[in-house]
Amino acid sequence: MNFLHNSWYCVGWSLDHGDEPVGIKLLNRELVLFRKTDGAIACIDGICPHRFAPLSRGKVCHDLIQCGYHGLEFDAGGRCVRNPHGSGTIATNAHLKSYPVAEKSGAVWVWMGEQSAADPAEIPDFDFVHDRKKWAGATGYLKIEANYQLLIDNLLDLTHATYIHANTVGVGTNEWEGETRIDYDFSASGKVINSDYVWRNSPPTPLLREFSERSVGDIHVPMRLHLASSLILDIAMCDRGAPPETGDQMPSAHLLAPETENTTHYFYAIARDDRLDDKAITARMIRLVEQAFVDEDAPMIEDIAQIMDDREFFAMRPLILETDKAAIHARRTLAKLIRNEIDHTGSSTDGAAHKKVEESA
pLDDT in tens, 211-268: 999 999 999 999 999 999 999 999 999 999 999 999 999 999 999 999 999 999 999 9
Res 173: pLDDT: 75
Q: What is the pLDDT of residue 179?
A: 64
Residue 205 has pLDDT above 80, yes or no: yes
Say yes or no: 162 and 249 in one domain. yes
Do 65 and 81 form a contact (C-beta atoms < 8 A)? no
Question: What is the pLDDT at residue 351?
Answer: 39
Confirm whether 193 is domain-assigned: yes
- Whether 10 shows a pLDDT value over 70: the answer reads yes
pLDDT at 176: 64
Q: What domain range is 249 assigned to?
A: 136-326
43 inside domain: yes
303: in domain? yes
Residue 168 lies in a domain: yes
pLDDT at 345: 75
Q: Is the pLDDT of residue 24 over 50?
A: yes
Residues 83 and 167 in one domain: no
Region for residue 197 given its phi and psi (left: phi exceeds 0; alpha: psi -120 to 50; beta: otherwise): beta
pLDDT given for residue 171 in this prediction:
86
User: Do 110 and 189 fall within a single domain?
Assistant: no
Backbone angles phi, psi at 176, to 5 degrees: -65, 145
Percent of the chain whose pLDDT exceeds 90:
90
> How high is the pLDDT of residue 38?
96
pTM of the model: 0.93
Give the end of a domain, one of 69, 90, 122. Answer: 122
Q: How many distinct structural domains can be found in the chain?
A: 2
State yes or no: pLDDT of 288 exceeds 90.
Answer: yes
Q: Looking at residue 1, what is its pLDDT?
A: 60
Length of the chain: 361
- The average confidence (pLDDT) of the chain is 93
